[in-house]
Structure 1
Amino acid sequence: MKLYLSCLTLLFASNFAYADKLTVKIEGLKEHKTALTNVQNALSIYEFQNREAPAPLRVEWLNSQAPEEIAMALEPYGFYRPKIETSLKKEGDTWIATYKINPNDPIKINDLIFEIDGEGNRKRIFKTIIKDSELRLEAPLNQVSYEKMKTTLYNRALSLGYFDVTFPMHEIIVDLDTYKSLVHLAMDTGDRYRFGEVTFHSDYFSEKLLRRYLNINESTEFSDTRTLELQEDLDASDYFEEVIIAPTVDHQAKRVPLDITVTPKKKRVFSAGIGYSTDIGMRLSGLGTWRYLNRMGHKFNVDLLLAQKQRRAVFNYRVPGKRPATSYYDFYFKYNYEDTKYRDYTALIIGASNTHKKGGFKQIYAIDYRNDKFRTPEGIRRHTKLLVPSVTFKWDNIVNPIFENWVLKGSIMVRGATKTVGSDVNFVQVKAEGTAAIPITQNNRIILKGQMGHTFISPKDLYHLSPALLFQTGGDNTVRGYRYNGIGEWGYKDKEIYGGKKLMVGSFEWEHKFAKDWAGVAFVDAGDAFNGDKPNFKFGAGMGVRWFSQIGVVKFDIAHGFNRDYGDTFRFHLNIGKEI
């Protein structure tokens, strides 16, 4: 028992004996932060920084190793002649190890040789990688930059299909006598591989449909970008729960075959809702989506709304185009009924459209047969039939919600009808929209929005057009401070708004990001939908916040409308969707 107590006493005594602290100070590398970090990682004694110190003999030994460790840690950054002063002392129960470092001038690059051979020797991207590196004649030698550039060249070569890439020469020669260095890097890309056979695995969808998604063939040169685009196109189809693309490299044939496995999503999705608004009263809504009706990927959507003052039914049948990722055909039937302060009409529409997409550019060609029953501003009931062809072009390059670059988007729509081809009215209508987000500083930007529209029509025929074909404005995305579509020409009842043949809307918004996912805004909006020669702009102004969430940008604004005849003095606006 006495022996046990003695051992226990010795154990506690040894623990208390070495309960000293250790502080490490590194001076002289304030202007060379990356080199400082490397020195900290290389120093064995730095592992005990602000921690319990080891035994005194080990502290002294670690301190003696420090100069050599510091010198080696500085070499990758070109410092081959550093002066290092060490100091180790103990103050109370704390060891203080101080290293004063004068790195002196880094060694310079006296000779720089880059060579690119093989099939990729004319690829501009490799020359750009070299050019963008920090390696320059007479510049300080930085081995870290050299290794980073070499790794970037290698990875880019693989991503472009140069799977036989090698570096026959890769050396850095340092002459300490002349204090100069030579960098010599030679890359041989070899031959560029091409895509090989593509094999699909699907339990349901037609192979013919799946192959129409391919953006490659066996003569296409391999690139990771092409493979990623194919993955994105298949994911965006909304057919598949999972898409797995497995490339393999056939070095003998210099091919990259693809093995693609797709798992279908649930075939049907239905939703329903109930709500109330002051404009249309109680409402029931329903949405049905058939993601695919058959093995060829045909889709079907039903959108229903039943309310006291508004009813809507949309039935849309979609057929994939020749290139399903970028084109499709829609065949639709629409029924719209509205009897509110803003509109009084019933419309039956049968139509078809063809949509083509390329990058951020979209073209939509459509033709609609409309049967409209409506009330004019004078209260006269009319019935009009129109055959309306239209074309819409949209450009959308929204890519970054943290607004590091300019954002530009826009659209232009042209539609019309003629009495000579199945219509009761002659008209041509043009509408253009545009948005620009302009960065001012890292956390501030200006957002400009504009809309312009004009309907070319004889004055006597103007009110033979349904209000659904005329312009109105006001609401969350146009002139805030006013009701949705609450700005336009007056109708035959007091405070009733009817559409106009012309449209002008402008918006100025200042956005300041005050946290990672949050921004505040201040804005001024103005707009009018009118028939006369000049607009009578209705102004609104206010403030709001933006939350860049995973479900989209949540926008909450409070706006003041300065024209009381057309709406509330103050109005709240809530919107969830795209960035701008």
Structure 2
Amino acid sequence: MRKLLLCCLITLTSNTVSAIEPVSLSVKINGVSEDIEKHIRSDMSLQHLRSDPAISESVLEYYIERAIQEITVSLQPYGFYNPHITARKSFKKNRWLISFSVDKGPVVQIETIDIQIEGPGLYNPNLSNIAKLMPLKIGNTLLHEEYEAGKKAILNAAIYEGYLAAELTTHRVEVDTQRSKAKIIIVLNTSNLYYFGHTTFSDSLLNNTFLNRYPTYEEGDPFTAQKLLNLEDALRNSDYFSTVRVDSQPNHETYQVPISVDLEDQKPNHYLFGAGYGTDTGPRGKVGYLRRRVNSKGHKFNAQLQLSELFHKVEADYIIPGKRPQTDSISINSKYMEDEYNEKPVESLELTLSEKREIYGWDRIMGLSFIHEKSVTFISNESRRDDLLLPFIEFKNTTRDNLNNPTRGRTRMIRLKGAHDDLASSVSFAQIYFQERWLHSFAYDFKTLFRLELGATLPRTYDKLPLSQRFFAGGDTSIRGFGYRSLPAEIDKDDERQPVGGSYLFVTSLELGKMIYKPFGIHSFIDMGNAFRSSKDEVQIGIGGGINYDTKLGPIKFSIAKPITNAAQSWRIHATFGPEL
């Protein structure tokens, strides 16, 4: 009998529960932005009741009151500390609708910022402006995200400078809700400064005497994270290693930071094959060989063969790393080249000894070249031979925000060279050349590229100079609309214009680009200048435009240009590929 009653009771209960229809819940929040609403909902416990099939009104009232408190707290990271929030609920067709109306109230503004430094770092000049790392300024809205970012930046700055045990002993925000004002108080205790310990390198085919020239610090120097990053970058960019791992192990008792460097050697041989096309050079190809590691001292050997319709070149380099291998080196270079200047053959053999060194952020290259050149002169078509013993010095500086696809940056180069006929040379001259490129990006995907080239030779008797030492203009990277090395020109006995080169050079260009649909863009430009023999030569101007396609190795540009100073000349197509700086 009991079993029968129990079964009936279970059946009755089951039928009753199944007869209760599930109740749904929806929540509406008015008066806040989409971002703030998303943040409010992520912290609102009322959201969890949406999955409850039977919500009682008493439980709902509790969660509504709780939601008002949660909304109040959720508004604070956005600077709203004194909101007014009302809630309404309604029930219709088994559905609860809860509406919150939010009056955020006035924003809290920063009234004072008090950032103090305690400990040995108080006298470190690199930390004297640490307060500037706080993104919040007086008068700004109190935003928690920016406050937290500022705290992190201040602490990281101290650690970066070698205060590895630094901590924020005080960090708080005092908010006056009645006045809607806030005060930020931060105290940074730097604790002791740490120092570089001994640097050890793992086994490598390169000897330790050479590897120990890479660190820019000495054992016992104050520790800075930047010098550690510089070491890692220098080793990675050296091309000697396939893997570089730099690990620091601070000793909090001795305040020493020993450095261990784990290296895996690259394969010693590297082969290079390349092909391309340029409107100046036509089809071209390249074969190269690099011996990354000739010996344990880090010497390198590099050889290349380049072929095109216009020139053939064989070149070999033997490179000896300097005192600072990442920036300094000595190079022994040999080069044989067959070139063409408007169908005039030029054959040259060049031997160069040079030294490269970084000075105040500039690469300085100085050296001595011996050049033996055979050519056929323009106009008279006579064969000539020239020998040049050519000392030179060059300075170059490049700053850019990206190696292959910079959006802004600047590169500058100045070169001086000369020869004297009393010193194993067939002609005396002195020459200076300057080049600058400036790239800047603007809003709406606009960018501008400015180019400038200047050159001068003394004495100005250009016709006595070997062809390779004269200035020419025209071509893809010079004055578009004109042929490669076609300026300046002179009328020969057959009434044909022959480019003869000049003693002076002036070329400038302004290009405006616009990204249309990544990676496609358009550009327009005006190029002007010439290689001048005298003041009688005119400035030539070319204008045009085209399309470009951005790649990881730089933009591919197709342009069409026309000279406006010579109406008889037709439009020319130009194609270039590579970084703009």
Q: TM-score interval w.r.t. the shorter chain? A: 0.7 to 0.9
1:500-519 to structure 2, matched below 5 A, reads 500-515=502-517, 517-519=519-521
Matches within 5 A, 1:356-371: 356-358=357-359, 360-371=361-372
> In terms of mean alpha carbon deviation, does 505-514 or 536-545 score higher?
536-545
- Correspondence for 1:455: 457
The one of 52, 55, 68 aligned to 2:53: 55
For residue 333 of structure 2, what is the aligned residue in structure 1?
A: 332
Aligned residue for 2:476, secondary structure, equals coil
What is the CA RMSD across the aligned residues, in angstroms? 3.6
TM-score (norm 1): 0.86
Provide Cα deviations, 1:316-368, integer angstroms capped at 9, x if missing partner: 11111111111111111111123462542111111111111357521110211
* Correspondence for 2:198: 197
Distance 1:110 1:436 in 2: 42
**Deviation for aligned residue 1:528:** 1.7
The answer for unaligned runs of 5 or more in structure 1 is none
Equivalent residue for 1:444?
446
Deviation at 1:92, TM superposition (A): 6.2
Aligned to 2:258: 257
Q: Could you report, residue by residue, the CA deviation over 1:186-229 in whole angstroms, capped at 9, with x for unpaired residues?
A: 22101111111100113301111111111111232212211111
Name the counterpart of 2:66.
Answer: 65
1:389-408 aligned at under 5 Å gives the runs 389-400=391-402, 407-408=409-410
Q: How much has 1:149 moved relative to structure 2?
A: 2.3
- In the alignment, what sits opposite 2:104? 103
- Alpha-carbon offset, residue 45 of structure 1: 3.9
Partner residue in 1 for 2:163:
162
- What is the correspondence of 1:418-497 to structure 2 with a 5 Å cutoff? 418-441=420-443, 443-457=445-459, 459=461, 462-490=462-490, 494-497=496-499
Q: Aligned equivalents of 1:114 and 1:274: distance in 2?
A: 59
Counterpart CA distance in 1 for 2:502 and 2:284 is 28
Q: What amino acid maps onto 1:480 in structure 2?
A: R
Instruction: Kindly state the Cα deviation for residue 36 of structure 1 after the two structures are TM-superposed.
Output: 4.8
Q: Would you say the 8 A contact 1:247–1:256 is kept in 2? A: yes
Q: What percentage of aligned pairs have identical amino acids?
A: 25
Distance across 2 between alignment mates of 1:139 and 1:529? 57
Measure how far apart 1:293 and its partner are.
0.9
**Residues 562 and 79 of structure 1, relative CA distance in 2, 3 Å threshold:** closer
**In structure 2, what is the equivalent of residue 114 of structure 1?**
115
Shift in alpha-carbon separation, 1:217–1:273, aligned structure 2, 3 A? closer
What amino acid is the match of 1:187? L
In the alignment, the residues of structure 2 paired with residue 67 and residue 279 of structure 1 have an alpha-carbon distance, to the nearest angstrom, of 72
How many corresponding residue pairs? 564
The 8 Å contact of residues 404 and 579 in structure 2, kept in 1 or not, is answered as no
Distance 1:388 1:70, change over 3 A: same
3-state DSSP of counterpart to 1:57: coil
Distance 1:519 1:135, change over 3 A: same
**Counterpart contact for 2:405–2:555, Cα < 8 Å:** no
Query: Counterparts of 1:370 and 1:357 in 2: how far apart (Å)?
Result: 26
What residue in structure 2 maps to residue 40 of structure 1?
Answer: 41
Distance 1:282 1:176 in 2: 73
For the residue of structure 1 that corresponds to 2:122, the secondary structure is: coil
- Residue equivalent to 2:3: none
Residue 341 of structure 1 contacts residue 497 of structure 1 at CA under 8 Å; is this kept in 2?
yes
Per the TM alignment, residue 442 of structure 1 is displaced from its structure 2 partner at its CA by 5.1
SS at match of 2:537: coil
- Given residue 81 of structure 1, which amino acid in structure 2 is its aligned partner? N
What corresponds to 1:550 in structure 2? 552
Runs of 5+ unmatched residues, structure 2: 1-6
Task: Report whether the alignment pairs 1:247 with 2:248.
Answer: yes
Q: Is the 8 A contact 2:167 2:188 kept in 1?
A: yes
How far does residue 261 in structure 1 lie from its aligned partner after superposition? 1.5
Task: Provide TM-score, normalisation by structure 2.
Answer: 0.86
Letter in structure 2 aligned against 1:421: L
Secondary structure, aligned partner of 1:437: strand
Residue identity opposite 2:224 in structure 1:
S
